Chains A and B, each alone.
Chain A
Amino acid sequence: MIREKIISLFKEYDAEVQEVVAEVLEKEWEKLSMLNPRGIKDDIRAIIDARARLSDDET
C-alpha cells in the first residue's frame, strides 16, 4: 500500500521517468531487507538501458 502511495507521487513526471522510478523502486523493495544489496546498480542500469533502447532514434 505504501509502495503504491509512493509511486503515485511521481504522476507529475514524464512517463519515461515514472516507468524507470517504478521499476527501480520495485527492485529496491525486493532488496530492502539487505544491508548492502549486491548487484542493485547493475539492476538499475538494466532498467535504464531497456527504457533507453525504446527511444525512436536508437531502434
Chain B
Amino acid sequence: MKLDSLTLTNFRQFYGDQTVKFARDSTRNVTIICGVNGAGKTTLLTALSWCLYGQDINASGELINKRALSETPVGFSVEMKVQAMFFHETERYSATRVLRADKISEKEWSHRELPFSVTRIRTDGQFQTVHNPMGIIESILPSSVSPYFFFDGEKIDQFTRPSHEEEVKYAVKQVLKIELLERARAHLAAVSKEYRQELAKHASGEFTTLLDKQGRLQDQLEKQRNSLETYQKEKTTAERQLSDIDERLAQVSAARELSQKRAQMEATLKAKENERDRLWESIKEWDNRGFIPLARPTIEKAVAILDEKRERGEIPPGIREQFVQDLLSRKRCICGRPIGEGSNEQIELTRLLGETIPSELENIVIQTAGDLRSLNATCVAIPEEIRSAMRRKVGVDDEIEEIQQKLDDISRSLEGSELEKVSDLERKRRECSGEIVRLAGDVGRTETLMEQLRIQLQEVESGISKAEVHAKQAKKLQRRFTLSSKAADAVDAICDVFAADMRQQIRKEAKSIFDTLIWKDSQFQDISISDDYHLEVLDRWGLPARRELSAGERQVLSLAFISGMSKVTGEEAPLVMDTPFGRLSSQHRENIATYIPEITKQLVLLITDEELHSTARANLEPRIDAEYELVFDQSTGCSSIRSVR
C-alpha cells in the first residue's frame, strides 16, 4: 500500500474539506505534517485508522466538527467523511467512511454510520465498486498489523519495557502471520479428529485400538499445549510483578544501592548460566562421540599395518598398474625397444603387473591411511576436550554458586530492613522469584512431555496409515484421515520452525537498525529475542542491559524492532509516525531522520515545530516531497491543512 491522499470533511477540528497529498516518489518519499499541540496531528492519524478500519473513534468528545454542526439547520443533516486514496500493486483505490448526523433540535442529534465503501480505479480509468470493502483492506494491510505501521511515536516504547513479552509476542504473531499457521494447525487437527471418529464407526479390531490410542494421545497433547500456554502467561505475569517490585525498591533510597547491585549481579548470573549451558552442550556433543576412543587399539593396529606396507614399498607400489599395462599393450618400451611376444621383457612385465594393485584401490588405501590417522588424533583429543570443558564448567558452576550466595545475602539484608516498606517488598519479591522458578520448571516439564507425546503419536499414526482396511467406505475415510493427519503434523512441525526463523530474522534486522540509530552503538553488542519472546539488549560485555536503557533509547529500540519486523515481512506499507522525536536527543533525531526514509517505501511524519532541529531537518531534507502545516484558528476553533511545499 502507498498512500496517495487523505481528505477529511468536518472531521473533529477540521472544518469543510481538508486534503493532504502524500509523497510517493521512491527517493523523495517523506511527507511532513507539522503542527503545534492540539492542532490536529493525532486527529489525522485517527482519521486514517477510522477510514480504513473503523477504529479509534470511541474517544470522548464530539466527532463531527462543531462549526459544521452549528451551521446545519434543524431537520437537516451534516456529514463527517474521510476519504483515503491509495495505490496497491498496479491499482488505485478510494476508501470512504461517512458518519451522518441528523439535527433533531439545536441540542439533539442522531448519528449513523453509512456503509463503508471502497472503489477500485483501474489503469484504464474505469471505476469498480469493491463488494467486500473490509475484505480488500484486510488483504492489503490487515487491521491487526496496522498499529505497527500507523503509530504514536511516544507510546511505542511499550515493546521494550521490561516484562512486556506479551506485546512483543503479539506483534510478531500478528505481523508475521504466525496465527495463520496456528489456526491451520487447529482446524486441520479438528478435521482429522472428525475423520477419526467417522472411521472408528467403520473399522474394527486392531485398527480401532490404534485409532483410540491416537485420539487419547491427541487429547493429551492438546491438554498439555493449553497447560503450557497457561504456565507461560503466569510466568510472564510473575516476571512483570517482579519487575514492578524492583522499580518500587529502586525508588526507596535505603534500598536503591542494593537493588541496583542485585540487578547487575542477576545480569551476570544470567550470562554465566548461558555459558554453563553452552559448556554442557559441548560436553554432551563430545560425549556422543565418546565411543571413538574405545576403537583406538584397533585403529592404531590398522595404521601400523599400513605404515609397515608403506615402508616395504608396497603402498604406494613402486610401479603403477597403468604404466605396466600400457607397455604390454603398446609392445614397446619407453626407450623404443620392442617387447616381443614371449620375450624375457614381456615375462618380467607380466610378473610386475601381478605385484601392482588397481589404481582405485591404491587411492582408497592412501585415503584410508589418512582417515585413520585423523581418527586416531580425535581419539586422543576427545578425552582431553571433555576434561577441559568439565574443568571450565566446574569453574563456572562455582562462580554461579558464589553469585547466588551474594544474591541471597542481598535479599536477606533487604528483608531484614528496618523500613517496613522495604522488607515487605523484598518478601513479595522472594515469593515472586520462587513462583517464576516453579513456573519455569512447569514449562520445561510440559515441553518435554509434549515432545514425548508427539513421538508416540507419530508411531501410532504410522501404524494407522499402514494398517489394512477392507470395507470400501472405511478405505475412503482412512485416506482422508491419513491425509488430514499428515497435513496437521506438517503444519505443527513448521509452526515452531517458522516462528524461530522469523525471530532470528527480526533480531538480525532490528540489531542492524538499532546500531544505525543509537549513538552509543559501541556500548551495545547485540539484540536477542528468546523463545518466549523476551526482547533483550546485550551490552558490550554481553550482559542484559534493557533495564538500563533510557526512555529515549527504549523508543529507538522499539522503532528498530518495528522497522525490523516490517522489513522481514516485506509488506509494502507506509510508516505513519505521530510525534516520533518527542523524547529523543538530537543525535537520535539526526540518525532517525537519515535512516528511516531508507528502510520504508513511504514515510509520513506528524511532528511539532520543535521536534525537527536543524541537523535532523537537513538530513531529512533531500527525502521530503510534501510538507504541510496544521493551522489552528483561534476565532473559529477549527484547524486547516496548509501546503507549504
Binding site for B on A (CB under 8 A): 1-3, 6, 9-10, 13-14, 16-17, 20-21, 24-25, 28-30, 32-33, 37, 40-41, 44-45, 48-49, 51-52, 55, 57-58
Contacts and interface: CB of A to CB of B under 8 A. Distances in A.
B398 to A, nearest CB: 44
Interface string B283-326: 00000000000000000000000000000000000000000000
A25 B134 CA distance: 20
B194 interface: yes
Interface in B440-495: 475-476, 479-480, 483-484, 486-487, 490-491, 494
13 contacts: A3-B180, A6-B180, A14-B486, A17-B483, A29-B180, A32-B142, A32-B180, A44-B187, A44-B188, A44-B191, A48-B191, A48-B487, A58-B476
A7 B232 CA distance: 28
Contacts of A41: 187, 190-191, 194
A17 B494 CA distance: 13
Contacts of B180: 3, 6, 25, 28-29, 32
Given A3-B180, A10-B490, A30-B135, 14 more contacts: A2-B176, A6-B494, A21-B487, A24-B187, A29-B180, A32-B177, A33-B143, A45-B194, A45-B480, A48-B191, A48-B487, A52-B480, A57-B475, A58-B476
A10 B138 contact: no
Contact of B571 (A1, A14, A30): A1
Contacts of A20: 483-484, 487
Interface hub of A1, A33, A51, A55 (most chain B Cβ within 10 A) = A33
A32 B145 CA distance: 12
Contacts of B184: 21, 24-25, 28
Contacts of B134: 33
Contact of B570 (A1, A9, A49): A1
Nearest to A57: B475
Given A33-B143, A48-B191, A2 B569 contact: yes
B497 interface: yes
Given A1-B570, A51-B483, A32 B497 contact: no
A40 B138 CA distance: 18
B170 interface: no
In the A-B complex, the 3 residue pairs with the smallest Cβ-Cβ separation, listed nearest first, are A1-B570, A33-B138, A20-B487
A6 B498 contact: yes
Interface in B90-140: 134-135, 138
Contacts of B167: none
A32 B179 contact: yes
Nearest to A34: B138
Interface string B569-610: 111000000000000000000000000000000000000000
Contact of B498 (A9, A45, A52): A9
B478 to A, nearest CB: 10
Nearest to A45: B191
A52 B177 contact: no
Residue of A14, A21, A30 with most partner-chain B CB within 10 A? A21
Given A3-B177, A40-B187, A44-B187, A9 B494 contact: yes
A17 B491 CA distance: 10
Nearest to B144: A33
Interface string B485-522: 01100110010011000000000000000000000000
> Considering residues B134, B188, B487, B569, which has the most beta carbons from chain A within 10 angstroms of its beta carbon?
B487
B479 A55 contact: yes
B187 A2 contact: no
A57 to B, nearest CB: 8
B187 A52 contact: no
B183 interface: yes
A48 B570 contact: no
Contact of A1 (B484, B494, B569): B569
A21 B491 contact: yes
A10 B494 contact: yes
Contacts of A3: 177, 180
Contact of B187 (A9, A13, A28, A57): A28
A24 B487 contact: yes
A59 to B, nearest CB: 12
B497 to A, nearest CB: 7
**Interface core residue of A32, A41, A45 (most chain B CB under 10 Å):** A32
B493 to A, nearest CB: 9
